[in-house]
Amino acid sequence: MNRGFAQRPQRRRGGRCANRIDAITADIIEAAIGIHRGLGPGLLENAYELVLAADLVRRGHKVDRQVPVDIEYDGLRIPAAFRADLLLDDIVVLEIKAIEAIAPVHAKQVLTYLRLMHKPVGLLLNFSGETMKEGIRRLVNNYQP
């Protein structure tokens, strides 16, 4: 489900899952910091999502945008109940924000996506801070490096 971005072969960095996840998240953070430095705060979330997705594809990652997240509860299955902003290499979930400050509810949102999508790691990125460093939060779902 790649919307508007060509898929490229995945880069291999290290043989173990932890190394792979760390390499992917390092690329994401590097790209996010570069985008924040280049564009600054003040754009809408969608703009940061588009630019970040394009940058990560250019770096060799498989990027899916607006990934549907299903809810399964008590024998019910609700397809596409909500959408995760980005999914990188089928393993790391990204939630993009452009808000004054990250609140606890935003971290809970990412943790819920991780649990429902059965993914180990997610990043919450807020592009509205003075620096990108203050807007990065890594979350894990029973992840053991």
| Residues 76-127: tens digit of each pLDDT | 999 999 999 999 999 999 999 999 999 999 999 999 999 999 999 999 999 9
Distances (CA, A) of 124 to 10, 18, 39, 72, 78: 22, 19, 18, 24, 24
**Interval 23-42: pLDDT, tens:** 999 999 999 999 999 999 99
Asked if 141 and 121 touch (Cβ cutoff 8 Å), the reply is yes
Indicate the domain borders of the chain. Answer: 17-140
Distances (CA, A) of 58 to 13, 31, 61, 66, 88: 16, 10, 7, 19, 13
Predicted TM-score of the model (pTM): 0.83
Residues contacting residue 99 through CB under 8 Å, at least 6 positions apart: 126, 128
